[in-house]
Amino acid sequence: MKESIAKLEETQTLTKDEWTVLLSHRTDALTEELFERACKVRIQHYGKDVYIRGLIEFTNYCRNDCYYCGIRRSNRNVSRYRLNSEEILSCCHEGYKLGFRTFVLQGGEDPWFTDQRMTHLIATIKQQYPDCAITLSIGEKEEDSYRLFREAGADRYLLRHETFNSTHYRSLHPQELSASHRQQCLFTLRELGFQVGSGFMVGSPGQTPEHLAEDMLFLKNLNPHMVGIGPFVPHHDTPFAQEKAGSLELTLYLLALLRLMLPKALLPATTALGALSENGQQLGILAGANVIMPNLSPLENRASYSLYDNKPNTGTQAAENLAQLRSKMEQIGYQIVTDRGDSLVH
C-alpha cells in the first residue's frame, strides 16, 4: 500500500489491481501521509492559491431522468425555472465585482436553450467580460453544437463521466443514456479545444472499489484539465432517496490520489463535500484540491436547483458566502485569488 502510493507519486500511474487494493484498504495512517504528499504536489504547481468559479444555475429543466438527480424529468415536485439573459448577465455583473473571473453556466439539458440561444448568450457575456473564462456545464450535445459554443467564446466544459463502468452506468441512468456516449463527448470536447472537466460521484449506489479503479484509469487516459468529484448525496424525490450517502473520508482520499495521479489538474472542493460537513470544503483543500465554486445564482432560485438534499448556502448572498469562504481558506493558510485560474494541463 505504502509502496503503491510512492509508485503513484513517482510514475503518476498504477495498474487496475493496485488501484483496487489501494481503494479497498484505506487506513488512517496511510491517509495522513497521502494528504501530506498531495498538498506538497499541489503547492509545487499551484502554490496556496485557491481559484474561484462563479456558478450560475441558469435552468433546472432537464430532459434526462438520472435516478440520483433531484432535477430529473420525472420529479414533479420541483418548481422549474429558467433565467433570462438579463438575469444571467446580472449574476455575471455581481460576480465580476466580487472578483470572479470565471463564470460557469450550469443547467439541466433544457431544449429551450437551443444552440442559437446558447451561442448568443456566450457571445454576449464574452463581449462584456473579455477577461473572463466561460465554462459550460449543460450535458451531452452533438459535436456541431459543441463547436458552435467554442466558436462563440466558451473556454471550458464540465461533464462528469459519472462512472466509467457501463453496467454500473446503466444502473444509475435510464436506458437511453450510455457510458460510452458520455465518454465520447469528453474526447470530442477536448479535441475542440475546450479545457475539459470530468469526474464522478463517490459512493453512488452499487459502486465498488473496482469501479473506482476504472474511473481512475479512465481519467488518466482522458487527462482532463479539471476533475470534479463529490460524494453521492441522496435526494428525497428520486428513486435513490433511501440509499446511503457517499463518505466524506473516501472522497477526500480520492481527491488526494487524484492530485498524485494528475499533479497539474484543477481539483475543486465541491459543494457536495460541503453538504456532508460544515468544514468539508476546507478538508478538500487540505487533501489537495485548489478550486471552489461559489454560487452566483439568484437567491430565489437556489433551492429549486437541488440535485441532492442539504445543499449548502441556499439562503446566503454571493458576497456573504464568498467572505465566509475567504476566511475559511485563511484559517487553513490558503488564499482565494482573483484570477481566471487556467489549468496547467495541456
Residues that bind ligand 5AD (CB under 6 A): 68-69, 160, 162, 201, 230, 232-233, 235, 272, 307-308
For the chain, give the longest Cα–Cα distance.
55
Residue 318 CB, shortest distance to ligand 5AD, in Å, is 19
For the record, the C-alpha cell of 59 comes out as 435552468
Residue 128 CB, shortest distance to ligand 5AD, in Å, is 26
Residue 87 CB, shortest distance to ligand 5AD, in Å, is 20
Which residue's CB comes closest to ligand 5AD? 308
Q: To 5 degrees, how large is the angle CA 127–CA 342–CA 82?
A: 50
Question: Which residue, 91 or 272, is less far from ligand 5AD as judged by CB?
Answer: 272
- List beta partners, residue 106: 57, 137
d(CA 198, CA 75): 26
One-letter amino acid for residue 170 of the chain: R
Q: Of 257, 251, 250, 261, which is closest to residue 224 (Cα–Cα)?
A: 261
Question: Which residue, 205 or 288, is less far from ligand 5AD as judged by CB?
Answer: 205
Sequence-distant (≥ 6) Cβ neighbours of residue 340 within 8 angstroms? 101, 102, 131, 132, 133
Alpha carbon of residue 294 to chain centroid: 12
Residue 319 CB, shortest distance to ligand 5AD, in Å, is 24
Residue 308 CB, shortest distance to ligand 5AD, in Å, is 4
Reduced to 3 states, what is the DSSP secondary structure of residue 82? strand
Q: Of 41, 54, 46, 1, which is closest to residue 294 (Cα–Cα)?
A: 54
Question: Which residue, 5 or 248, is less far from ligand 5AD as judged by CB?
Answer: 248
d(CA 132, CA 101): 5
d(CA 156, CA 122): 12
Residue 330 CB, shortest distance to ligand 5AD, in Å, is 28
Question: Which residue, 197 or 341, is less far from ligand 5AD as judged by CB?
Answer: 197
Question: Which residue, 39 or 248, is less far from ligand 5AD as judged by CB?
Answer: 248
Question: Which residue, 2 or 236, is less far from ligand 5AD as judged by CB?
Answer: 236
